[in-house]
Amino acid sequence: MENYRIEHDSMGEVKVPADKLWGAQTERSHENFLIGVGIETMPREITKAFGYLKKAAALANHELKPEKMTAEKKDNIAKACDEVISGALNENFPLVVWQTGSGTQSNMNTNEVIANRANQIAGKKLCHPNDDVNMSQSSNDTFPTALHIAATVEIEDKLFPAIDLLVGTFKKLEAANKGIVKSGRTHLQDAVPISFSQEISGWRSSLERDKEMLSSSLPYLKQLALGGTAVGTGLNAPKGFDTLVAKKVSELTGKDFVTAPNKFHALSSKDEVVFAHGALKALAADLMKIANDVRWLASGPRDGLGEIHIPENEPGSSIMPGKVNPTQCEAMTMVAVQVMGNDVAVGVAASQGNFELNVFMPVIAYNFLQSVRLLAEVMVSFNNNCAVGITANKEKMHFNLYNSLMLVTALNPYIGYENAAKTSHLAYEKDISLKDACVQLGFLTAEKFDEVFHPEQMAGENA
């Protein structure tokens, strides 16, 4: 039989598992919201951010009202917060995303766990979840603060390194494939020549621009709602708490957080998160394009474009022996689709602020942080299991290049657009070379054609 202890809150007594650190309010939520249990729990990035937040609040409260937040309380709360930050207490955060829209229950889960752990460390009943751990705070300003902390930390520490990793690989591929000219393609049709390194540079530049756009969103995410308390007025928070606690969060995380200039906005609007997730969606769109390019170029091995080789990581079919599929590309495109769907959820949720609060914050946090996590992890996977092993099929590129009718564009300056079009049509209809068609039509002599027709030069000086 499972052992319980009795906890109480303003509504009465509650049985709580004896081996858990949470209290009555957490247990009520745990029992009342049996939605996505074990699968869609509050993101651990939020739990960690709450650890930073609660430690920062204890440090700030000790400076501003030491008679309430004594050095003993501050030190034991800080130690408990360090364990929350490290993930050592993760099993004590069981609540699902599908709870109150303000995240109150997750805030109280954090308060109860930290208070109970602080009391264990102190060896006595020292800290109260509401009076001490939640001092000068409200769920209404702590949850949006935790969201901003988590979003900033995950973007800077997880997503940016993943972007840099793939950008670095593309730079190496550009250098390795310098001078290899292939057929360009627009509208999925043959186009004028391009070098393979130029094509790769487009992929690389897209990721660099995505990082720039994400970076431009960070100053807004680094504005914290903490200090606004229940409705933005700062009720029950000491003067200067908002500025000081933002400074403490910055010191703990190594990020330059500041207090939000208008707390009424910070509690009720999620526009900063919408803006940042728009940049995540832009990254997803570019990854979709890159993955599609790679799998189209690698299609075959005999009946597709076959212009590049990609690593063969696992069998691709349960019925066709020897088949190998572009699985890393497929994983990346599926992540892109998920992120685009998440963007809809984040946008709709952010539009639902009423008066002094938005009550869709857990679902915003869940989708936003999932997007960051998936994008970072899929880029690392794609890089390590596909991009680093991309090689050019030079022979196929050369064949496709010289088989392209769009090379006729090089003749425009010499025979004009309309005559060049006639040359292309004749070559296609009779399945002959552009040179033979041009000579048959009397537009150029064979010698003049050879003099002006140089496909490799059509890609430009930087090929």
Among 321, 318, 365, 373, smallest CA distance to 346 is for 365
Whole-angstrom Cα distance, residue 294 to residue 387?
Answer: 9
Sign of CA pseudo-dihedral 280, 285, 291, 293 = negative
Among 64, 121, 61, 56, smallest CA distance to 85 is for 56
Q: Strand (E) positions, 385-462?
A: 391-392
* 385 Cβ contact list (under 8 Å, min separation 6): 311, 313, 328
Whole-angstrom Cα distance, residue 396 to residue 404?
Answer: 12
* 219 Cβ contact list (under 8 Å, min separation 6): none
Strand pairing category for 181-186 and 189-195: antiparallel
Q: How many CB atoms lie within 10 A of CB 94?
A: 18
pLDDT (tens digit, 9 = 90+) per residue, 113-128?
Answer: 999 999 999 999 999 9
Q: What is the pLDDT of residue 1?
A: 39
Strand partners, 6: 15
DSSP class of residue 33 equals -
Sign of CA pseudo-dihedral 41, 42, 43, 48 = negative
pLDDT (tens digit, 9 = 90+) per residue, 399-444?
Answer: 999 999 999 999 999 999 999 999 999 999 999 999 999 999 999 9
List, by residue number, the catalytic residues: 187, 317
Whole-angstrom Cα distance, residue 7 to residue 438?
Answer: 91
Whole-angstrom Cα distance, residue 176 to residue 423?
Answer: 36
Two structure tokens written together for 181: 């000219």
Two structure tokens written together for 95: 């609540």
Q: Residue-wise pLDDT tens for the chain (463 aa)? A: 369 999 988 889 999 999 999 988 889 989 899 898 888 999 999 999 999 999 999 999 999 999 999 999 999 999 999 999 999 999 999 999 999 999 999 999 999 999 999 999 999 999 999 999 999 999 999 999 999 999 999 999 999 999 999 999 999 999 999 999 999 999 999 999 999 999 999 999 999 999 999 999 999 999 999 999 999 999 999 999 999 999 999 999 999 999 999 999 999 999 999 999 999 999 999 999 999 999 999 999 999 999 999 999 888 888 888 888 999 999 999 999 999 999 999 999 999 999 999 999 999 999 999 999 999 999 999 999 999 999 999 999 999 999 999 999 999 999 999 999 999 999 999 999 999 999 999 999 999 999 999 999 999 877 7
> 189, exposed or middle or buried, with CB in 10 Å at 0-12, 13-18, 19+?
exposed
pLDDT (tens digit, 9 = 90+) per residue, 321-345?
Answer: 888 899 999 999 999 999 999 999 9
Model's pTM, two decimal places?
A: 0.94
Q: Strand (E) positions, 199-346?
A: 223-224, 258-259, 308-309
Whole-angstrom Cα distance, residue 267 to residue 316?
Answer: 50
